[in-house]
Amino acid sequence: MSSKKIAAAIHPPVAASVAVRKYDERRDKAAVEELERRCEVGQPGKPAFVTDLMGDPVARVRNFSSHIMLVAEHGDGREIVGVIRCCIKTVTSGKLRSNEFPVYVKLAYILGLRVSSSHRRLGIATKLVQELESWSKQNGAEYAYMATECSNKPSLSLFTQKSNYVKFRNPAVLVQPVHGHYKSLPSDIAIVRVSPNLAETMYCALFSNSEFFPKDIGVLLHNKLNLGTFIALSKRDFSDWNPETGDLPASFSICSIWNTKEVFRLQVKGVSSLTHAACLGTRVVDAMLPWLKIPSIPNVFESFGFYFLYGLHMEGKDGSRLMKTLCKFAHNMARDDRGCRAVVAEVGQTDPVREAIPHWRKFSWDEDVWCIKKLQEDVKEQNCDDQWLKSSSISHSKIIFVDPRDL
């Protein structure tokens, strides 16, 4: 095989009739929705989550001040055959300066890449990524990153082999289904809702040396989708605690709750009839024998939303118990919200809170892979060095702050 043929096999030529442009809601909305509906198929023989963006294709990035959505058109009919989204944010790198202030980097987050199954292997995905990287660099992004599953070989190949991204982090997704019964909370623990301003002060102190902590945390906490920030502490400590001082008790846990169901909903498809029947059976038995308080499996085969827990942190000898109580509290909130059928958290593999977050192992996974790439190669790095990219196995920080707007 000639060198030209080998190069073509590795990097398929982009179809000359493909053009990439900015998404226009007025004329593109219906076509993009249809494209994404056809692309949500998952892997053969395995369950898949189908995402409904509630009629707003830009919903997943709209909560960032700097965002864009691109579409790829093909042929004389200008059929939309590809789509991709991106937002730019400023986050911590996990390092601290000599004066103990966090090191921030400007980061582009790429998500929602879809290409029509009838137009693949034409280089359309590569062209979409390249155009998005160009826009990101023009808007000052120093790095770009994306998230996928380790089993998604085409996506990993596109980013790591063709686009020079490197595997970076491998967080764990912990899922707790919401069933029809309230979880009992310990009588000696108080749960306090704190104001967004106070929560911002606390989070800046707690997460300054973590990775991916957003500089605009105040905007996040004031967002209408944020249902509140809550602290769990013993009632003994609560009686002595004055939140106005900014000091925290010796033992406490804290988290914020994000309502995803107002932005998008999920639906599980691709499961067997037997699985359907088994899940239905748990709900039937629960309805017939409610006093047993069976943790039945909610109906995830119809459109549903979930609550996302973020900013999870615990300290002190009672921290684990307090975090478990806080998660039970979130479950009870979700139970009262019709259509919310799961409570989800995403944390670093070695984050201490991981072991304290209640979850069902069969519903949870640690197969997500975050890949990252340095965009500004020609600029001397003032914020962080290449070691941040090379530390794929051992993180600078055990803590990864997962922004709910990235979902």
Q: Which has more pLDDT, 353 or 100?
A: 353
Given a cut of 50, whether residue 377 has pLDDT beyond it is yes
Q: Report the C-alpha gap between 265 and 304 in whole angstroms.
A: 5
Cβ atoms within 10 Å, residue 352: 17
User: Sign of the CA dihedral 236, 240, 241, 246?
Assistant: negative
Please state, for a pLDDT cut of 90, what percent of the chain lies above it.
57
Q: Which residues in 270-347 belong to E strands, given as ranges?
A: 305-315, 340-347
pLDDT at 47: 59
Q: Are 310 and 174 in contact (CB under 8 A)?
A: no
Structure tokens at 316: 């002190």
pLDDT at 183: 93
Q: Report the C-alpha gap between 78 and 119 in whole angstroms.
A: 13
Task: Give 383's pLDDT tier (boundaries 50, 70, 90).
Answer: very low
Task: Give 141's pLDDT tier (boundaries 50, 70, 90).
Answer: very high
Q: What is the mean pLDDT of the segment spanning 140-155?
A: 92
Given a cut of 90, whether residue 285 has pLDDT beyond it is no
Q: Are 182 and 335 in contact (CB under 8 A)?
A: yes
Give 325-334 pLDDT, tens digit per residue: 999 999 999 9
Given a cut of 70, whether residue 235 has pLDDT beyond it is yes
pLDDT at 48: 64
Tokens 């992004």: give the residue: 141
Q: Are 370 and 147 in contact (CB under 8 A)?
A: yes
Strands 340-347 and 305-315: parallel
Q: What is the mean pLDDT of the segment spanning 244-272?
A: 87
Given a cut of 50, whether residue 241 has pLDDT beyond it is yes
Strands 143-149 and 102-115: parallel
Given a cut of 90, whether residue 240 has pLDDT beyond it is no
Tokens 């009838």: give the residue: 118
Q: What is the mean pLDDT of the segment spanning 195-220?
A: 94
pLDDT at 107: 95
Q: What is the mean pLDDT of the segment spanning 146-172?
A: 92
Residues 6+ apart with CB under 8 A from 362: none
Cα 121 from chain centre = 28
Q: In angstroms, how far is the first alpha carbon of the chain from the final one?
A: 44
| Local structure of 258: helix, strand or coil | strand
Task: Give 309's pLDDT tier (boundaries 50, 70, 90).
Answer: very high
pLDDT at 394: 46
| Local structure of 180: helix, strand or coil | coil
**Radius of gyration for the chain, computed over Cα atoms and rounded to the nearest angstrom:** 23
Task: Give 9's pLDDT tier (boundaries 50, 70, 90).
Answer: very low
Residue 259 DSSP symbol: E
User: Sign of the CA dihedral 123, 125, 129, 134?
Assistant: positive
What amino acid is encoded at 30 in this protein? A
pLDDT at 390: 63
Q: What is the mean pLDDT of the segment spanning 342-363?
A: 93
Structure tokens at 355: 């072991």
| Candidates 3.30.70, 3.30.1360, 3.40.630, 2.20.28; CATH matching 174-363 | 3.40.630
Q: What is the mean pLDDT of the segment spanning 86-101?
A: 87
Given a cut of 60, whether residue 249 has pLDDT beyond it is yes
Q: What is the pTM of this model?
A: 0.89
Q: What are phi and psi of 367, to 5 degrees?
A: -100, 0
pLDDT at 284: 84
> Which secondary-structure segment (H or E) carries 82?
strand 79-96
Give 11-41 pLDDT, tens digit per residue: 455 556 789 999 999 999 999 988 888 876 5
Positions of CATH 3.40.630.30 in the chain? 3-169+367-406
Q: Which has more pLDDT, 73 or 97?
A: 73
CATH 3.20.20.370 for the 3-169+367-406 domain, yes or no: no
Given a cut of 50, whether residue 170 has pLDDT beyond it is yes
Question: What are the beta bridge partners of residue 90?
Answer: 106
Which among 230, 298, 229 is positioned nearest to 267, based on CA atoms? Answer: 298
